[in-house]
Amino acid sequence: MLTFTIRQFFYSLLIIWGVMTVTFVIIRVLPGDPARLMLGQRADAQSIAALRKQLKLDEPIFPTQYFDFLGKAATGDLGRSFAFNRPVIESILERFPKSLVLAVPSLLIATLIGVAIGVYSAWRPYTFFDGASRVTAILGISVPVFVLGAVLILVFSNWLSVLPASGYITKDGGTNLKYLLLPMLALAARPLSIIARITRSSMLDVLSQDYIRTARAKGLPVGATVIKHALRNALNPVVTTVSAWLASTIAGTFFIEKVFAWPGIGMLGFDAVLQLDYPVIQGVVLFTAVVFVVVNFLVDILYSLLDPKVRLS
């Protein structure tokens, strides 16, 4: 177990280093000059040069800027925002809870509804409900989240006028959960569809086993057979899928936050791209990658405790 944990930890560090390096390189090759963007198009050359020197943009990208970025990031220092002149980590920690408010309920709803649909589809295969759920799942997997978000705004905000198109749940000291419904539905669609398909497939495999047929032959109630015996043994791949989607859902809030003007780290990242705010872009990407890697690392450890075959493989 210790060897497995050390190996997974080492792999996680490699992934984080790779993300840091790729992000650093891509941002540096983007067109545009952050100093000119901050000062405006009418700024003179001397002012731009002075600001570039202050921001250390005049130093060599490799190795000076690169190793400076790695060293500071390792200590939690993600630099200061060019646009707002405040520590990047402060902006991220201020926005991250708002992204969690959107991501966690979305995944919870996707899990509960997806498992329920998958179980019922496996219990009544090849019925109208099963066929409709499969078609809906394919659409949920195929349609991009930002397209689905735009459609939800069009239907429920513009046509029906029953839900707000954008905004955060707290405003003027009050709480209004109506603002959460549309972005939550848009974000939950894809994991719900995948969880429903995985649950159906796993349940069909378990329901065809001999011990299930024996339980039915002995006259056990259908509910006890399906829920108590079949579902318990079919949940392993479902748990793996849900665990993987926990990190993916947090990362997937980027497009949804932009569509619904949700003030999370996704909006922070989009605004930073438009302003060529290098430290914020790097910080948001790195922070999201670390969250993704840490969650998957913990899931791997937990799953290895539940299933020793994972450690052996």
Domain boundaries, the chain: 2-74, 97-263
- What per-residue confidence (pLDDT) applies to 278? 81
Residue 220 predicted with pLDDT over 60: yes
- pLDDT tens digits, 150-177: 999 999 999 999 999 988 888 765 678 8
- What per-residue confidence (pLDDT) applies to 109? 94
Nearest to residue 254, comparing CAs of 112, 109, 114, 98?
98
Question: For residue 31, is the peptide bond before it cis, meaning its omega torsion is within 30 degrees of 0?
Answer: no
Residue 311 predicted with pLDDT over 80: no
Share of the chain above pLDDT 90, in %: 38
Mean pLDDT over 9-29 rounds to: 89
Between 257 and 33, residue with greater pLDDT: 257
- What per-residue confidence (pLDDT) applies to 308? 64
Helix orientation angle between 2-28 and 66-74, rounded to the nearest 10 degrees: 140
- What per-residue confidence (pLDDT) applies to 208? 85
Between 200 and 56, residue with greater pLDDT: 200
Nearest to residue 180, comparing CAs of 283, 103, 271, 95?
103
- What per-residue confidence (pLDDT) applies to 183? 94
Residue 111 predicted with pLDDT over 80: yes
Helix (H) or strand (E) holding 164: none
Residue 138 predicted with pLDDT over 70: yes
Which position has the token pair 């719900």?
Answer: 192
Between 200 and 210, residue with greater pLDDT: 200
Helix orientation angle between 232-251 and 278-306, rounded to the nearest 10 degrees: 170
Mean pLDDT over 54-60 rounds to: 83
Nearest to residue 250, comparing CAs of 269, 271, 264, 270?
264
pLDDT band at 231 (very low <50, low <70, confident <90, very high): confident
- 266, 149 Cβ separation under 8 angstroms: no
What is the C-alpha separation between 68 and 88, in angstroms, rounded? 16
pTM of the complete model = 0.82
Mean pLDDT over 68-82 rounds to: 87
Fold of 97-263: MetI-like fold (1.10.3720)
Q: Positive or negative CA dihedral for 6, 10, 16, 19?
A: negative
Residue 306 predicted with pLDDT over 70: no
Residue 234 predicted with pLDDT over 90: no
